[in-house]
Homo-oligomer: A and B are copies of this chain.
Amino acid sequence: MNTQVEIVTIGDELLIGQVVDTNSAWMGQQLNLAGFTVNRITSVSDNKHEILSILKETTERSAIVLVTGGLGPTRDDITKKCLCEFFNTRLILNQDVLADIQCFLKGRVTHINPLNHDQALVPEKCTIIRNPIGTAPIMWFNSNSGVVVSMPGVPSEMKRAMEIEIIPRLKKTFINQAILHKTIHIFNIPEAVLAEKLTHWEDNIPSDIKVAYLPSPGKIRLRLTGKGADSVFLQNHINKAINDLYPIIGENIYGFDNEPVEASILKLLSNQKSTLSCAESCSGGYMAHLLTSIAGASQVFKGSVVAYANEIKTGLLGVSNTDIETFGAVSCQVVEQMALGACKTFNTDYAIATSGIAGPSGGTEEKPVGTVWIAWAANGKVISQKFQFGNNRERTILRTAETGLILLKQFIENNKI
C-alpha cells in the first residue's frame, strides 16, 4: 500500500524566518516511526493562490497530505476557506466544536467574540476531530486520491492531535504490519569507528530488522527498526541484536529510546535516595540547567556553584590556591578538588565538577581551546578525565555538561565510583 506522506506547513512567519518550522521534523520523526515515508515538506505563505496550488500538487503526488497552520481566528488565517474551495464544499456551524471553544475559552476571555465563534464553522464534507487544548478543530478529508488532514500550527495542539488521533487512524488505514523500534544511545566513539566495529554484527542481524545511524555532536543514536507480521518475533530479534551489541561496544552505551541522560541520572539517584551537586567552571551553569529542566529535580539535585572566578573555587569549594597557581585552573588537581568541595559544600552524595577552556581566547599550546577536565566525586573518592572538545564555544559547553552526566551514570552503574 502507498504510505507516502507529504507535509505542508502554512504561514508567512515561516517564509520570513520569524519562526523555525520545527513541526515538520517532529512529524517526520513520528511518521517514520509509525512506518510511513515522508517524501516532501513544503512551506507556503497565507496566500489563497499558494495554498490552492500546493493542495493540488500534493494530492496529485501523494496519498496522505498533512497540513498545519493557518487556522487561527484572525483575517490572515485562510486555510479553512481554501480547503472548502479545494474540496468544493461549504462552511457549516458545528455545535460540538462551538461547545469545545466555549469550554476552552472559559475563564480566559470575558466573552466569545465573533472571530472565535466563526472557528466553529467547519467544512461540510470533512470529518471533524475535536481539539480540547485550542480553538481550531482538526479537519480530516477523504478524497479519491487519499487523505488530507488539516491541523493547527501550534506545536502542542499539532502534537496531541498527531499522537492521539491522526497517526493511529492513518496506521489503521494504511499500515498492515507490526513496526517496532529501539534506539540505543552511544557515546565517545566516532561514527566511522563504530560502523567498522559493528560490521560483523550488522551482517548477522535478521533481515526483518534495519539499522540506522543517527549522529549528533559527541553522540550517536543507533536505531533498530523491525517490520513484519509478528510483533513477538520482531521483539525477540531486536532483543537479541541488543544483547549481541554489549560484548562489542557495551562501555559506549549509555541509554535507550527518548529519555535524556539528565532524566536517567535523576531517576537513578532518586531510586538510590542519593543527592547530587555540581561545581561548574567552563560548563557555566548549563549542567545545572539541564538537571533543573526536569520536573522534580529538587528531590535529588541540591544545587551548583558556577565558579567562573578562581577566588570562588577557593572560597566556596575549598580548592587550594597553591594548586591553582601551580597547575592552573584547568587541571586534574583543581577539578578534583572542586568535585570534592561541592560534595562538602552542598552535603551531597555525588558531585560533578568541570573546568576547561571554552574559548575563543585563553588557549595555550599545552592547553588549547577545547581542553576540558571533568571530575566525579562520591563518598570522599574522586576520579577525573581530560577531554578535547574542539574550538566551538557553544559546543564545548554543551558537550562538557552532557559528558559529565553520561559518565556519572556509567560510573554508578558499573560501580566505578
- Chain A residues near B (Cβ < 8 Å): 14-22, 24-32, 37-45, 50, 214, 278, 280, 284-289, 291-293, 295-298, 301-309, 311-312, 315-316, 345-347, 358-361, 393-394, 397
Cross-chain contact A43 with B44 (CB below 8 angstroms): no
Cross-chain contact B40 with A16 (CB below 8 angstroms): no
Cross-chain contact B298 with A292 (CB below 8 angstroms): no
User: Out of B45, B214, B303, which one reaches A312, CB within 8 Å?
Assistant: B303
Q: Given A44-B40, A303-B307 in contact, is the A393-B284 Cβ separation under 8 Å?
A: no
User: Out of B26, B40, B291, B345, which one reaches A17, CB within 8 Å?
Assistant: B26
Cross-chain contact A302 with B296 (CB below 8 angstroms): no
Cross-chain contact B303 with A303 (CB below 8 angstroms): no
* Integer count of this chain's copies in the complex: 2
Q: How far is the CA of A302 from the CA of B307 in the complex (A)?
A: 7
Cross-chain contact A15 with B39 (CB below 8 angstroms): yes
Cross-chain contact B306 with A306 (CB below 8 angstroms): yes
Q: How far is the CA of A293 from the CA of B292 in the complex (A)?
A: 18
Chosen A-B contacts, 15 in total, with CB atoms closer than 8 Å, are A17-B26, A21-B24, A21-B41, A39-B44, A40-B42, A41-B42, A284-B288, A292-B397, A295-B359, A295-B360, A302-B308, A303-B307, A304-B305, A311-B347, A312-B346
Q: Which 9 A-B pairs have the closest CB atoms?
A: A284-B292, A285-B288, A17-B29, A17-B28, A285-B285, A304-B306, A41-B43, A17-B25, A20-B25
Q: How far is the CA of A358 from the CA of B297 in the complex (A)?
A: 11
Q: A377 to chain B: closest CB distance in Å? A: 17
Cross-chain contact A25 with B21 (CB below 8 angstroms): yes
Q: How far is the CA of A68 from the CA of B335 in the complex (A)?
A: 43
Q: Given A311-B347, A312-B346, A394-B293 in contact, is the A15-B44 Cβ separation under 8 Å?
A: no
Q: How far is the CA of A223 from the CA of B374 in the complex (A)?
A: 44
Q: A7 to chain B: closest CB distance in Å? A: 9
Residues from chain B with a CB closer than 8 A to the CB of A307 are 303
Cross-chain contact A39 with B32 (CB below 8 angstroms): no
Residues from chain B with a CB closer than 8 A to the CB of A27 are 17
User: Out of B16, B44, B295, which one reaches A393, CB within 8 Å?
Assistant: B295
Cross-chain contact B22 with A41 (CB below 8 angstroms): no
User: Out of B17, B20, B37, B278, which one reaches A20, CB within 8 Å?
Assistant: B20
Cross-chain contact B284 with A293 (CB below 8 angstroms): yes
Q: Given A14-B41, A28-B14, A306-B306 in contact, is the A285-B295 Cβ separation under 8 Å?
A: no
Q: A279 to chain B: closest CB distance in Å? A: 10
Cross-chain contact B305 with A303 (CB below 8 angstroms): yes
Specify the chain B residue showing the minimal Cβ separation from A5.
B15
Residues from chain B with a CB closer than 8 A to the CB of A286 are 285, 289, 292
Q: How far is the CA of A291 from the CA of B6 in the complex (A)?
A: 41
Q: A212 to chain B: closest CB distance in Å? A: 8
Residues from chain B with a CB closer than 8 A to the CB of A297 are 284, 308
Specify the chain B residue showing the minimal Cβ separation from A54.
B40
Specify the chain B residue showing the minimal Cβ separation from A16.
B32
Q: Given A17-B28, A312-B346 in contact, is the A50-B43 Cβ separation under 8 Å?
A: no
Q: A55 to chain B: closest CB distance in Å? A: 14
Q: How far is the CA of A288 from the CA of B360 in the complex (A)?
A: 18
Q: Given A24-B43, A41-B43, A43-B40 in contact, is the A18-B308 Cβ separation under 8 Å?
A: no
Q: How far is the CA of A101 from the CA of B19 in the complex (A)?
A: 35
Q: How far is the CA of A280 from the CA of B394 in the complex (A)?
A: 21
Given contacts A21-B24, A285-B304, A285-B306, 4 further A-B contacts (CB under 8 A): A17-B29, A17-B38, A20-B22, A305-B305
Cross-chain contact B284 with A291 (CB below 8 angstroms): yes
**Most interface-central of A32, A280, A308, A397 (chain B CB within 10 A):** A308
Cross-chain contact B32 with A17 (CB below 8 angstroms): yes
User: Out of B21, B50, B298, B345, which one reaches A39, CB within 8 Å?
Assistant: B50
Cross-chain contact B312 with A308 (CB below 8 angstroms): no
Cross-chain contact A29 with B18 (CB below 8 angstroms): yes
Q: Given A19-B25, A40-B44, A293-B284 in contact, is the A316-B302 Cβ separation under 8 Å?
A: no
